[in-house]
Amino acid sequence: MRIVFTDLDGTLLDHETYRYSAACPALKALRRRDIPLILVSSKTRAELEPLAQQLELSHPLIPENGSAVFIPLDYFPTKLLGPEWQQRGRYRVLTLGQPYDQIRAALAQIKTALANTPVRGFGDWSVAEVAAATGLSPDEAARARQREYSEPFTCEAQPDLLRGVVAAVSGSRQSAGLSRVPLSLQRGGRFWCLTGPADKGQAVSILLSCYRRQYGPVTSLGLGDGPNDLPLLQSVDQAVVIPGQRLQELWDQRQSHWSLAPAPGPEGWNEAVLSWLEHAPLSLSLNSAEAGA
């Protein structure tokens, strides 16, 4: 069995327009072969569901940087999933992160510690402000604010200072019953993101284990464009880095099973997936990919 795990913004979706039309040939090829395409994103479940419908996908979803795994009911036999998988609506859900209210409480402590530096999360913004900051439509921005486990935010502090404050908050005694809430700080294409102790790789590995128990040997492909995709790329059999704004930072951590797509965004995604389907490995150097970008 073959499976594809993909990041969205800057990977399957164009970073600026959020369009995926250039990837349609590979998307159709995956559908023809009945190869599951798993969306693994910092986006919320409310954002992933309509996109999955557009793409004609009925597979599990991994939202908010790996904070949970949502598997449609009856996708796997009930006995395959343990009691830790809770039924929620039309899904069985494994929660790996922290509830949103705890993440927001932690962000409030970070704001206090950085009193002279503005810190604003999606929970502080109106729908119109989120739309203006992201280029999303009002409806899309409203779905982006329907967060369950994580909080994107802006902060002008130096990265090392911010990371130090987050580490201090994570290890401190929390108020309102929030004792030692473990936190993870990730940087995406537009925002910092505060989450619990979860990442894309952990969620991908758990889902791969489910597929293997049900179907036997699995060959997996992962695609991403930023440092927050590193755990995803480390968890699959073959990984493809899509050239983007933070290419060098990610490529510096490359491993032997990684390749570089020949173009950014959905164009590069399309070529990489078609190449994988035809068993033709990509063998581009970083310089040649930058030239193509």
- Residue 120 CA from chain centroid, whole number: 21
Distances (CA, A) of 150 to 50, 96, 107: 20, 11, 10
- Kindly calculate the radius of gyration of the chain based on its CA atoms and give it in whole angstroms: 19
Residue among 98, 70, 100, 95 nearest 84 (CA) = 95
Half-sphere exposure of 223 (CA within 13 A, CB side): 35
Pairing of strands 151-155, 192-195: antiparallel
Kindly state the DSSP code that residue 174 receives in the 8-state scheme: P
7, 9, 14, 199: which is the annotated catalytic residue? 7
> CA 202 to CA 3: how far, in whole Å?
16
Active site residue 7: yes
Q: Active-site residues: which are they?
A: 7
